[in-house]
């Protein structure tokens, strides 16, 4: 499928895909980059090395400037009674047991200090969690979403981010999926309707710029 031509044919002359931009107080949320997701032997796993590399760059930038950053994981009780119908639809999720190494954030981007890991049970990082309270407390106006998968947890979080009133930014090279077709299709849809799909370089440069300007204003 040629997504560019498809956009031109059906969206190009319509009022879709405007830029919302990055506000003055962005936060980074890293979705589901846990040990199970990078294990090729796992039914949940895939090659996330490129996503990890770009996510690490984003994390370094947010840490350098003292901006809010959060991680998410998914984990269930042994009975999976807290998984609802989700476990029926995706039995592979049974692997994600509370307290196991499988649900720990990848060592390359491991949380430090007071960085929070938000435990979620479903696709969106907002559903059934206190993420909204965290973002409100930190006066966040923009949510940068990295991680996996583009068609699942990333997309669900992007939609909810918009619905909670945040400028929503998705770096295309810092998110990934188990197959390219759903990855491309969902980036296309997010960019058309829910947020800005950009590159990690764009985000890093913008944040470095606004933080430098803010420091100059303080002087």
Q: At what angle do helices 180-193 and 155-163 cross, to 10 degrees?
A: 10
**DSSP one-letter code for 15:** S
Residue 219 pLDDT > 70, yes or no?
no
**pLDDT grade for 51, boundaries at 50, 70 and 90:** very high
User: What does the pLDDT read at residue 215?
Assistant: 63
Q: Give residue-wise pLDDT tens across range 163-209.
A: 999 999 999 999 999 999 999 999 999 999 999 999 999 999 999 99
Tell me the β-bridge partners of 70: 29, 116
Q: Give residue-wise pLDDT tens across range 117-172.
A: 999 999 999 999 999 999 999 999 999 999 999 999 999 999 999 999 999 999 99
As a whole-number percent, the residues of the chain with pLDDT over 70 amount to 91
**pLDDT grade for 12, boundaries at 50, 70 and 90:** low
User: What does the pLDDT read at residue 49?
Assistant: 94
Residue 58 pLDDT > 90, yes or no?
yes
**DSSP one-letter code for 38:** G
Q: What's the residue count for the chain?
A: 219
Q: Give residue-wise pLDDT tens across range 27-49.
A: 999 999 999 999 988 999 999 99
Residues catalogued as catalytic = 153
User: What does the pLDDT read at residue 2?
Assistant: 45
DSSP 90-101: -GGGGG-BTTSG
List of domains in the chain = 35-218 (3.40.50.850)
């Amino acid at each position: 499928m040629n997504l560019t031509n498809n956009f031109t044919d059906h969206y190009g002359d319509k009022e879709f895909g405007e830029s919302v931009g990055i506000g003055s107080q962005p936060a980074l949320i890293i979705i589901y980059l846990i040990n199970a997701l990078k294990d090729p032997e796992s039914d949940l796993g895939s090659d996330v090395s490129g996503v990890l590399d770009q996510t690490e760059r984003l994390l370094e930038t947010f840490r350098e400037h003292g901006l809010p950053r959060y991680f998410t994981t998914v984990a269930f009780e042994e009975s999976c009674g807290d998984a609802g119908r989700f476990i029926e639809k995706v039995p592979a999720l049974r692997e994600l047991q509370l307290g196991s190494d499988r649900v720990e954030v990848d060592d390359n981007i491991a949380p430090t200090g007071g960085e929070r890991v938000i435990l979620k049970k479903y696709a969106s990082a907002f559903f059934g969690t206190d993420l909204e309270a965290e973002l409100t407390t930190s006066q966040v106006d923009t949510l940068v979403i990295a991680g996996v998968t583009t068609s699942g947890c990333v997309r669900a979080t992007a939609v909810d981010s918009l619905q909670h009133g945040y400028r929503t930014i998705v770096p295309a090279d810092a998110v990934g999926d188990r197959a390219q077709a759903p990855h491309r299709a969902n980036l296309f849809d997010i960019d058309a309707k829910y947020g800005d799909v950009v590159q990690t370089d764009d985000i890093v440069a913008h944040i470095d710029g606004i933080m430098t300007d803010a420091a100059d204003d303080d002087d």
